[in-house]
Homo-oligomer: A and B are copies of this chain.
Amino acid sequence: MIEIVALDADDTLWHNEPLYARTTARFRELLSSYYSSTWIEDRLSETELRNLPHYGYGIKSFSLSMIETAIELTEGHIKGDEIGEILSITKQMLAAPVQLLQGVTETVTELASSYRLVLVTKGDLFDQESKIARSGLGDCFSEIEIVSDKDKTIYAQIASRNRIEAKQLVMVGDSLRSDVIPAMEAGCLAIHVPYETSWQHEVLPDEVLQQYRFLTANSIEEVPGLIERLHRTAV
């Protein structure tokens, strides 16, 4: 019997990936007199990945990686004004309106009437708190977990702290790597709701995926029905 529905936030409840894509496009434009678009984007990705152990996820980390990439690509010749433009883009990202995916408010409200809801999100504490506040959904959740990275211990802890068995928790999210697989490794259930673009970057080998049996929803609006099905099966 399912007690807790845990939900991811970025690209599950609200759009996130397009914000990074738009910012990357502006960054490419800023450096377009120096290099080709593809070259710039590839170097930015490399810098981001290299900096992950230093900075973690989030907009401020992304901003520092954009600045580093701009300096490296121009061999230090980039002007202060141009770096100032990157800071300005960063502040615009941080202040960007939170755009909920279709049907999120209705679905989350409906789920909250039957289950305890826990929001489990990765990234920058300050930025994620601000987005949750601006989303207007904060009150639907009995717990909000903002973590620097998601692994199976996070999901196990939520279950144990709430004194339920792992299989009484279902995790809902767009990421196989952060939401679905680690939740299932902790013995929880999972529903994958692929996001329009980000899922493409998240391909996992078939032999990995075949080990896990999870449900897939075409949109968040299908989630309550799927949970109802899981719920009936488990009783």
* A contact patch SS: helix
| A213 contacts chain B at the CB level, 8 A cutoff | no
How far apart are the CA atoms of A68 and B83 in the complex, in Å?
A: 9
- Give the nearest-CB partner of A61 in chain B: B60
Report A66 CB to chain B, min CB distance, Å: 11
Docked pose: A84 CA to B71 CA in angstroms: 7
CA of A56 to CA of B146, assembled, Å: 15
C-alpha gap A167/B1 in the complex (Å): 38
Interchain CB contact under 8 A, A94 and B126: no
- CB neighbours (8 Å) of A67 from chain B are 67, 83, 87
Cβ-based interface call for A124 (8 A): yes
Chain A positions 126 through 147: 1 when the CB is less than 8 Å from some CB of chain B, otherwise 0: 1101000000000000000011
Contacts of A79 in B (CB 8 A): 76-77, 79-80
**Bound form: Cα–Cα A157–B96 in Å:** 30
Which of chain B's residues has its CB closest to A94's CB?
A: B54
Nearest Cβ on chain B to A99's Cβ, whole angstroms: 19
> CA separation between A125 and B146, bound complex, in Å?
8
Alpha-carbon separation in the docked complex, A81 to B77 (Å): 7
The 10 closest A-B pairs by CB, nearest first: A56-B126, A76-B81, A78-B80, A125-B125, A76-B80, A60-B60, A71-B80, A126-B148, A71-B84, A125-B148
